[in-house]
Chains A and B, each alone.
Chain A
Amino acid sequence: MQACMSNIEANELVKRYADFTAVKGISFNVRQGEIFGLLGPNGAGKTSIINMLIGLARIDGGEVHCGGLTYTQQVDGRVQTLMGVVPDESNLYDEMTGLDNLVFCGALYSMAKPARIQRAQELIRLVGLTDHEDRLFRSYSRGMKRKLTIAAALMHRPNILFLDETTTGLDVASAREIRSLIQDLNAAGTTVFLTTHYIEEAEQLCHRVAFLVGGRIVRTGTVTDLLRFDGGRTVVQLALNQNAAQAARALTAAIPDTEVEVLDETTVRVYGGERMNLIPYLTVLERFDQQVFEAKVLKPSLEDVFLQETGLTTAAMRSTNGGGRRST
């Protein structure tokens, strides 16, 4: 029953703003206990999707199944008790203290006073704001505000936590703390649905990721599956002592089905099968008096996969973190 209640299934969701269609009939499902990420550049439709799921935007087409209920236009109040929402901007009350904000949020879900005070204190401890609970929210730093906003979303013990661009605009340390908090919450059983335009964040946090571009999902899968976008090929980069072009010709001639790319005068990239035996390559190179100084196995990053799948350029994803293949 619990498993059923936490799942979200969206079918053919559509969102229109006047003549502009922001979400163009997308479908996906979020499984119990997973962290599901919606990854896309700004303007891809991420916030529109999250707003339709939580009830801040009307659904113009399609339907959502959540908590055993189906809604086609407006979210049901019973579903809202299952959801905790952390918006892209902290939206608690500036003129209230951190503790009072949480207690008030608990009251919105009809929690009795002793229970909501206890829960608020428990969450203040969880997010590490015990020393600041009596300070006004307006005096908090951006990172502290975001942590308290997450705590506010957890007051009524939701099954599903929606996080919209949660680490956007935070410094590195705060963003890391928030990611760690999200992982801890998920480990404790909370299903997490997050939107982000930080590729590294999605790669680090999510069990499954959907790539969203122009209001359409272009690919969904586990991070591991998505990283096998080259059909499971292995890429090895070799640093040679001389004439990379000649080495490439020798390798292509000697080893069938080998693809070699010359990067510069002394570097080549060799593309092989899923499990690549390097000995034949090294033997051929030795025969041609090549010395191999370094061999790096390159794994694709999620950014590579994202850019390949979406056809976007790195410039279009300028605001994202990291990039390129990672070497091991």
Chain B
Amino acid sequence: MTKLIPFFSILYKDMRNYYLKPPNISWGIVFPVAWTLMFFVRSESPVDLQQLLPGVVALSILFGTTSMLAVTITFERRSRSFERLLLAPFSVHYLMLAKTSGAILFGVLNALVPVILACLFSGLELLEIRWGVLVPAVVLISISSTFLGLMIAVSVREVFEAQTFSNFFRFPMVFLCGLFIPVQQLPVLLRPLSYMLPLTYGVDALRTATHGVGMLPVAASFTILIAFCAVLFAISIRNVSRNWVY
């Protein structure tokens, strides 16, 4: 039990110092609301909004987690307070799991905003949602997006570099992962790129949760997402061990 003290202390410290600060709370709410409203204005019927829900949920998580992690990790490294964590008697794996747990939670909370809005404004019935698929899909998208953010954060030195590098991944994902344009409708040449991005599988699982149909079986999407999480985490740990311990 005492082994969990550092984990929860790091999580609590990050929540208090970063995630629960008013600007970040508002970012966590305003950003998904903005995405939802943007598509609500463009849509011609409530049904359209329901169609867009998986994409908006995935986008909210992706932007929320990667933005936060770029700040918390890169900023702490810059101020050298991260060294204090590296000197503590636990492994880099443990440390990185503790550091990312806050961002994962933040991502899950971000996902709730468009779901609630969809229920309120599009007539989406809570009972229509397959919660058994939606919850693990949201969690897995949060984890994979957070680990993507982690990989980016540990590859750069400055916060602005992290933000710029994040966009290198995030914006292509908006168009390639089937958020608003189904992958099957993308040009043939672009489709392989779509299948190389974790969000494609997350959105597919979300679509199954909200509409009952997806491109792949849910189990396959989840398995691929878990594999992405493992690879991204392994790359991040390797980068930290290689570049942060000189």
Q: Are B80 and A112 in contact (CB under 8 A)?
A: no
Number of residue pairs spanning A and B whose beta carbons lie under 8 angstroms apart:
66
Q: Are A111 and B5 in contact (CB under 8 A)?
A: yes
Question: A57-B245, A108-B88 are known contacts. Are A94 and B5 too (CB-CB below 8 A)?
Answer: no
Chain B residues lying within 8 Å of A319, measured Cβ to Cβ, are none
Question: A93-B81, A110-B6 are known contacts. Are A80 and B87 too (CB-CB below 8 A)?
Answer: yes
A74 to B92, CA, bound (A): 12
Q: Does B223 contact A (CB under 8 A)?
A: no
Residues 82-112 of chain A: 1 if any B CB is under 8 Å from the residue's CB, otherwise 0?
A: 0101010101111110000000110111111
Chain B residues lying within 8 Å of A81, measured Cβ to Cβ, are 89
Residues 16-41 of chain A: 1 if any B CB is under 8 Å from the residue's CB, otherwise 0?
A: 01000000000000000000000000
Q: Does A54 contact B (CB under 8 A)?
A: yes
Q: Does A77 contact B (CB under 8 A)?
A: yes
A57 to B244, CA, bound (A): 8
The 8 Å CB contact of B87, one of A54, A58, A94, A110, is A54
The 8 Å CB contact of B245, one of A55, A93, A96, A108, is A55
A58 to B92, CA, bound (A): 14
A80 to B13, CA, bound (A): 22
B228: min CB distance to chain A, Å: 28
The 8 Å CB contact of A58, one of B9, B13, B85, B246, is B246
B190: min CB distance to chain A, Å: 40
A78 to B90, CA, bound (A): 9
Chain A residues lying within 8 Å of B79, measured Cβ to Cβ, are 91, 94
Number of interface residues of A (CB under 8 A): 31
The 8 Å CB contact of A110, one of B5, B13, B85, is B5
Q: Are A87 and B83 in contact (CB under 8 A)?
A: yes
Residues 88-106 of chain B: 1 if any A CB is under 8 Å from the residue's CB, otherwise 0?
A: 1111000000000000000
Q: Are B2 and A110 in contact (CB under 8 A)?
A: yes
Residues of B1-36 whose CB lies within 8 A of A: 2-3, 5-6, 9-10, 13, 17
Q: Does A56 contact B (CB under 8 A)?
A: yes
Chain B residues lying within 8 Å of A109, measured Cβ to Cβ, are 6, 88-89
The 8 Å CB contact of B80, one of A55, A74, A91, is A91
Q: Are B17 and A96 in contact (CB under 8 A)?
A: yes
Q: Does B134 contact A (CB under 8 A)?
A: no
Q: Are A93 and B13 in contact (CB under 8 A)?
A: yes
A81 to B88, CA, bound (A): 7
A93 to B80, CA, bound (A): 9
Interfacial residues, chain A to chain B (CB-CB below 8 A)? 17, 51, 54-58, 74, 77-78, 80-81, 83, 85, 87, 89, 91-96, 104-105, 107-112, 152
